[in-house]
């Protein structure tokens, strides 16, 4: 009887460990396939960003670049890190604090025409706050010394 009880306990622990292992696999797998990397406009222009999978890009909305297409809902604008700019297309309603010359982060993919098709556009939550990704992009461009004053068109 004692042996049997110990046996039972062992099976229980083994089953528990297998299940926990499965859970860990599930978590890591889900994590790997849903991780979104961040790139600066310079990196995207240099071809460092992945093709076909989604990523995030951040910087400033180039002043004078915001255009609304005829359907009234699709917008095109350019994101700059002051060194390079990339064109973005987005269909939907922009966040309240989206403004030319201000920080922005967009998530999406590069489409066949070389446009960054954004599925999501994030702006900041208050007037004086810069999204960290956008700040990072500007900082990196500055460090590389390639920043020109390409802030408006």
Binding site for another protein (CB under 8 A): 8, 12, 16, 20, 23, 26-27, 30-31, 33-38, 56, 68, 71-73, 91-94, 96-97, 107, 124-129, 131-133, 136
- Taking the mean position of all CA atoms in its chain, how far away is CA 120? 9
Tell me how crowded residue 97 is: count the other CB atoms within 10 A of its CB. Answer: 15
Instruction: Give the nearest distance from C-beta 33 to another protein in angstroms.
Output: 8
Instruction: Kindly tell me which of 68 and 142 has the beta carbon lying closer to another protein.
Output: 68
Instruction: Give the nearest distance from C-beta 82 to another protein in angstroms.
Output: 18
Instruction: Give the nearest distance from C-beta 133 to another protein in angstroms.
Output: 6
Helix (H) or strand (E) holding 106: strand 103-110
Check the CA dihedral 133-50-64-72 and report its sign. Answer: negative
Instruction: Kindly tell me which of 119 and 148 has the beta carbon lying closer to another protein.
Output: 119
Instruction: Give the nearest distance from C-beta 149 to another protein in angstroms.
Output: 26
Token reading at 28: 């890591």
Q: Confirm if 118 and 53 have CB atoms less than 8 A apart.
A: no
Tell me how crowded residue 31 is: count the other CB atoms within 10 A of its CB. Answer: 9
């Amino acid at each position: 009887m004692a042996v049997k009880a110990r046996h039972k306990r062992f099976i229980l622990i083994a089953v528990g460990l297998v299940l926990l292992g499965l859970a860990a696999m599930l978590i890591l797998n889900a994590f790997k396939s849903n991780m979104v990397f961040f790139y600066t406009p310079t990196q995207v222009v240099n071809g460092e960003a992945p093709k076909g999978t989604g990523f995030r890009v951040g910087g400033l909305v180039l002043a004078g670049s915001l255009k609304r297409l005829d359907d009234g809902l699709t917008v095109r604008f350019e994101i700059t890190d002051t060194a390079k700019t990339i064109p973005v297309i987005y269909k939907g309603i922009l966040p309240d604090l989206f403004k030319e010359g201000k920080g922005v982060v967009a998530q999406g993919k590069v489409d066949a025409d070389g446009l960054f098709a954004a599925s999501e556009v994030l702006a900041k939550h208050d007037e004086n706050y810069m999204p960290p990704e956008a700040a990072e992009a500007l900082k990196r461009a500055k460090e590389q010394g390639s920043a020109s004053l390409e802030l408006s068109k």
